[in-house]
Amino acid sequence: MSQSGHETEEHVESSTREEVTEPPLYRVLLHNDDYTTMEFVVQVLVSLFAKSIEEAVRIMLNVHHDGIGLCGLYPFEIAETKVSAVHAAAGENGFPLRCSMEIDTP
């Protein structure tokens, strides 16, 4: 009896397993403008994206020179929250800093 019970448990376990896939990731991007200070962009990257000062300066320089900078890759809800937080912080400080998100395609 224990042998058949064991076989049933294995069968149930294997038939209920499902493939778990990672959620798609979204790029959170900062966009250059003529008014937001470099210092504020660095502050946003450090406070909202947990970047080191060195990494924040590197991203800020990408925004400044290339017009856009990658802040990170996040699941949809987190990316959406980050974009909203950037817009809120920029608005509170009187800056027109734009932030967007786009799906990361491999």
Q: What is the pLDDT of residue 16?
A: 60
Q: What is the pLDDT of residue 24?
A: 95
**Average pLDDT of the chain, as a whole number:** 89
Q: Specify which residues 101 forms β-bridges with.
A: 28
Q: What percentage of residues in the chain have a pLDDT greater than 90? A: 76
CATH code for the domain defined by 22-103: 3.30.1390.10
Q: What is the pLDDT of residue 29?
A: 98
100 by Cβ neighbours in 10 Å (0-12 / 13-18 / 19+) ranks as: middle
Kindly state the tokens that stand for 49.
């994206």
One DSSP character per residue, 22-34 reads PPPEEEEEEE--S
